[in-house]
Amino acid sequence: MTPITRTSPALIVPVLGVTQILAWGSSYYLPAVLAKPVAEETGWSLSWIVGGLSLGLLIAGLASPVVGRRIHRDGGRPVLAASAILIALGQIGLGLAPNLGCFVGAWIVLGLGMSAGLYDAAFSTLGRIYRDRARHHIATLTLFGGFASTACWPLSAFLVDHVGWRNTCFVYAAIQLCVSLPLYLAALPRSRQIEMPDAKPLGPSMPVPAPAIFLLLAVAIMIGSMISTVISVHLLTILRDKGYTLAAAVALGTLVGPSQVGARFIEMLVARFHHPIWTKVASVGLVALGLTLLGLGFPLVFLTLMFYGGGIGLESIARATLPLALFGPDDYAPIMGKLARPSLIAQAASPTLGAFLIEHLGSGMALGIVAIVAVGNVGLTLGLFAMTAKARRQAVAA
């Protein structure tokens, strides 16, 4: 197909939305459904099977700065196209794996694919195409991403039941090669950057990331990623230990996804009225509020999870739009790559860390520690707010 060189967001954003759903479903969300069937059929250790995802996230984190530089230099089209090929190769490796070592090793390839194909790469691509106008399109893209588990968990379960886990991997590989790859090549522009002369800046930006501001932003994003990963992996255990049945815990857990999408939709409607730092403040505040109330035994558990889910939903937008607003679009992709590295590495360690805390301290104490960390992240973010406000005033004065 002839590549479409126009930069209409009516085409590019839905394409990236669909491919994001397929990329997340083919990688990050896969072990939640496949781990148990793989263990039952092969006899491999469940912890090692799930540990493949941790390895993949670690590899993704290590590779993310390189991905950011490549998008900055060549644009998102070749990088995202490569991600579809890498995820497909990783899926083929999983499906063909004759032993646990090969199975875990396939996650190295999947990790490279995740680094080049998940949110950070897609956000960076939008930033290079739309520059200061990317904020709205990033928010729209996260609406699609919020449905990844909703769409792909049932699909994965259906495939496992009807064709087995190995053929499920092959199906996802085919989807990447026959759906995602052609979409990337057809819809994304070849040029690495398209100037938008009538774009309105989000506010005065710093031409070079101030070290203190960059460090504080990286730490705040990393902590947010750790919290979301720990809770997503261990939420059902925490709720079960509070006395809920498995069915009730699952029903409560499903509130997180719609809350994410709802918060992102609201942010998309009101984003033009405020700086992205406010989105970050709201994000960490809602996460801390939800987890603190849940840890204190607030009786309306559904409400605590809705607060938490709304905060997590806003975090995805804030981590993409705040660097764009603070540092400008010129080096956006490399900056996103640098910010992604500690975040993804922390995510790789988070499931094991959460399991250790639950095993040795109990789920209640573990939740309390996570809630305290979430409150601490509010303090960090308020410090970031103060520093960025000062830097913006200095930029205006200059």
- Do the Cβ atoms of 281 and 186 come closer than 8 Å? no
With respect to residue 1, please indicate whether it lies within any of the assigned structural domains: no
Two structure tokens written together for 17: 């939305």
263 and 154 housed in the same domain: no
35 and 130 housed in the same domain: yes
Closest CA to 80 of 128, 46, 47, 34: 128
The pLDDT value recorded for residue 7 is 65
With respect to residue 290, please indicate whether it lies within any of the assigned structural domains: yes
Which of helix, strand or coil describes residue 271? Answer: helix
329 and 376 housed in the same domain: yes
With respect to residue 134, please indicate whether it lies within any of the assigned structural domains: yes
d(CA 184, CA 16): 8
The pLDDT value recorded for residue 78 is 92
223 and 159 housed in the same domain: no
Which of helix, strand or coil describes residue 242? Answer: coil
130 and 233 housed in the same domain: no
Q: What are the helix (H) ranges across 242-362?
A: 246-253, 256-270, 276-295, 301-327, 332-361
d(CA 177, CA 166): 17
Question: DSSP readout, 88-105?
Answer: HHHHHHHHH-SSHHHHHH
With respect to residue 144, please indicate whether it lies within any of the assigned structural domains: yes
178 and 221 housed in the same domain: no
With respect to residue 85, please indicate whether it lies within any of the assigned structural domains: yes
Closest CA to 64 of 127, 142, 121: 121
Domain that holds residue 136: 9-187
Query: How many domains does the chain fold into?
Result: 2
116 and 170 housed in the same domain: yes
- Do the Cβ atoms of 209 and 326 come closer than 8 Å? yes
pTM: 0.82
Torsions phi, psi for 179 (to 5 deg): -115, -60
With respect to residue 204, please indicate whether it lies within any of the assigned structural domains: no
176 and 234 housed in the same domain: no
The pLDDT value recorded for residue 253 is 78
Q: How many residues does the chain have?
A: 398
List the pLDDT tens digit at each of the 398 positions of the chain.
444 445 677 788 899 999 999 998 889 888 877 888 888 899 888 778 888 888 999 999 899 999 989 998 888 889 999 999 999 999 999 999 999 999 999 999 999 999 999 988 898 888 888 887 878 888 888 888 777 777 777 888 888 889 999 999 999 999 999 999 999 998 888 764 454 444 444 444 444 457 888 899 999 999 999 998 888 778 878 888 888 887 788 778 778 878 888 888 898 888 788 888 999 999 999 999 999 999 898 889 889 999 999 999 899 889 888 888 888 887 888 888 888 888 888 888 888 788 788 878 888 898 999 999 999 999 999 999 988 877 767 666 65
63 and 28 housed in the same domain: yes
Cα 40 to Cα 32, 162, 251, 329, distances in angstroms: 14, 16, 26, 49
The pLDDT value recorded for residue 237 is 80
d(CA 229, CA 28): 11
Buried b (16+ CB within 10 A) or exposed e, 321-343: bbbbbbbbbbbbbbbbbbbbbbb
With respect to residue 286, please indicate whether it lies within any of the assigned structural domains: yes
With respect to residue 253, please indicate whether it lies within any of the assigned structural domains: yes
d(CA 338, CA 331): 11
37 and 183 housed in the same domain: yes
CATH at 278: 1.20.1250.20
Buried b (16+ CB within 10 A) or exposed e, 7-23: eebeebbebbbbbbbbb
163 and 264 housed in the same domain: no
166 and 100 housed in the same domain: yes
User: Which residue, 187, 222, 237, sits at the end of a domain?
Assistant: 187
The residue to which tokens 């800046």 are assigned: 201
